[in-house]
Chains A and B, each alone.
Chain A
Amino acid sequence: DQQVKQNSPSLSVQEGRISILNCDYTNSMFDYFLWYKKYPAEGPTFLISISSIKDKNEDGRFTVFLNKSAKHLSLHIVPSQPGDSAVYFCAANAGGTSYGKLTFGQGTILTVHP
């Protein structure tokens, strides 16, 4: 049972436009969410996170939105750059005894065309 889902395996965007990556979750105990970026042959790199007490968090070109009622989060990248081309993973962290045990989505391959 996939508790965190990224339903779009890939996304193609033109340089300078907005990239929107989506993530859905089913476990209502998740209270902390993260986005990671991964280049080939490297480990995932932390991008941005959001706590369930917020609905938006911004860091430069990256903004994460959380809709708790819909159990949905999204990552917006504006403007998109060719160097943003990578695999993006969303991850979720539940509270209590599960804290620290991240559950990842399957990933979305983002391609930004010059």
Chain B
Amino acid sequence: DAGITQSPRHKVTETGTPVTLRCHQTENHRYMYWYRQDPGHGLRLIHYSYGVKDTDKGEVSDGYSVSRSKTEDFLLTLESATSSQTSVYFCAISDGLAQPQHFGDGTRLSIL
């Protein structure tokens, strides 16, 4: 299995609070991604990174920001959480754009 650790695995928080999810990899892969999974939508790309300090927006980036200060860590921040951001969040890594992405086990986030 690819060395990807997501933390926390579960979180419950209140509307309006900031939330940060962490993805840590031990594979030294250049590319890292954040997705959310919702019923009826499959997985949708939030943000991705193609190197340290290099990030770009995905399909559903509104309300989210990311940072990558080290190769191994990719942080996803919800600036002010809303109930519509209740979801399961997955981090993925790949060592090339044409290579398969490998996923972490997800973070289940509930915003009340």
Could you list which residues of chain A lie within 8 angstroms of chain B, going by C-beta atoms?
4, 6, 32, 34, 36, 41-46, 49, 89, 91, 93, 99-107
Given contacts A43-B106, A100-B48, 5 further A-B contacts (CB under 8 A): A4-B42, A43-B92, A100-B31, A101-B45, A104-B44
Which among A45, A46, A99 has the greatest number of chain B C-beta atoms within 10 A? A46
Contact A43–B104 (Cβ < 8 Å): yes
Also in contact, A104 and B43, with CB within 8 A (given A43-B90, A44-B90): yes
Contact A43–B40 (Cβ < 8 Å): no
A91 to B92, CA, bound (A): 14
Query: Majority SS of interface residues in chain A?
Result: strand
Also in contact, A41 and B42, with CB within 8 A (given A100-B31, A101-B48): no
A residues in contact with B44, CB < 8 Å: 104
Q: Which of A4, A45, A89, A101 contacts B58 (CB 8 A)?
A: A101
A58 to B102, CA, bound (A): 20
A residues in contact with B50, CB < 8 Å: 100
Q: Which of B33, B42, B48, B100 contacts A89 (CB 8 A)?
A: B42
Q: B71-112 toward A: CB 8 Å interface, digit per residue (1/0)?
A: 000000000000000000010101001101111111000000
A residues in contact with B35, CB < 8 Å: 104
